[in-house]
Amino acid sequence: MPLKGTITALITPFIDDKLDEEGLIKNIRYQISQGVSGILPLGSTGEAPTLSPAEQEKIISIAVKEAKGKVPIWVGTGAYCTRQTIEKTKKAKDLGADIVLIVNPYYNKPTQEGLFRHFEAISNAVDIPIVIYNNPARCCINIEASTLIRLANLPNLKGLKESTDNLSHTTEYIHRLAQEGLDFAILSGDDVNTLPMMSLGARGVISVVSNLVPQGIVSLVKAASAGNYNEAREIHYGLLPLVKAAFLETNPIPIKAAMSLCGMAAGECRLPLYKMSPENLHKLKQVLITMNLIKS
């Protein structure tokens, strides 16, 4: 199963702090209709840590029912406990997930050897394609290139979602993987870096902004994949105000606010995330007006 294109990191819609199942179904159908390459429930954009196990299972089941056979279903199953990550990954596979995204263990800050052993244990325990999520800002640890090469040789490790602003780091990853002859996908984990990372050899993006404008992100990724960089740059700069606005506050606060303003199922985030400040909400509205996504 090729790991490339536009994968939408789905928000989890709520109504009165309860899972909005109908809203989730509508959002998934919208994503599929707009040509995304995959959907990813239960990532950080989906507020997975705030969801009960029953809610998580319900979300996976809805995604499988709506998308199975249409687009690959990615599921975030990472935790800072290896055993718990294995349990969540097994459950996701049993429920029909095609691929899992597993974030580096956060809070307990393992060494590079601990990182390797963590993913090795998961790979040995569950036969499913695994994509690592490297996000030093959230996890306080970073995968070194030498560790990534070791991980890329494990049987079920297939790719990396890279969420850093350090493009030299991304370059080293891609170059070292090529030197070793390893078919290991690198995907941008930040919308703002999709174009520069793809120019270096990344294969697509796991996107937040595509919740709202999937067709725009799909067009950007397709243009960059085809080497049409003039077109890709035009799309990139056209989307840039929205991309910046989507990260005025902690993700997914702004993207859920934007979706709500545009009449899509979203609702507010669960605590400890809180609604946008009035100042930032005004900035977001102005961007949406300028881009003709809402009326003034």
Give the residue numbers marked as catalytic.
133, 161
Beta strands in the chain (DSSP E): 5-9, 14-15, 18-19, 38-40, 74-76, 99-103, 130-134, 157-162, 185-188, 204-207
User: What one-character DSSP code corresponds to residue 104?
Assistant: P
The maximal CA–CA distance of the chain, rounded, in angstroms, is 54
Tokens of 86: 């294995």
Pairing of strands 14-15, 99-103: unpaired
Instruction: Return the exposure string of 234-273: e unless at least 16 CB atoms fall within 10 Å of the residue's CB, then b.
Output: ebbeebeebbebbbbbebbbbbbbbbebeebbbbbbeeee
Pairing of strands 14-15, 18-19: antiparallel
Distance CA 201, CA 270 (A): 36
Beta strands in 24-139 (DSSP E): 38-40, 74-76, 99-103, 130-134
Closest to 32 in 3D by CA, of 63, 1, 77: 63
Tokens of 277: 């400040």
5 with 204: CB under 8 angstroms?
yes
Distance CA 286, CA 280 (A): 10
What one-letter code names the amino acid at 254?
P
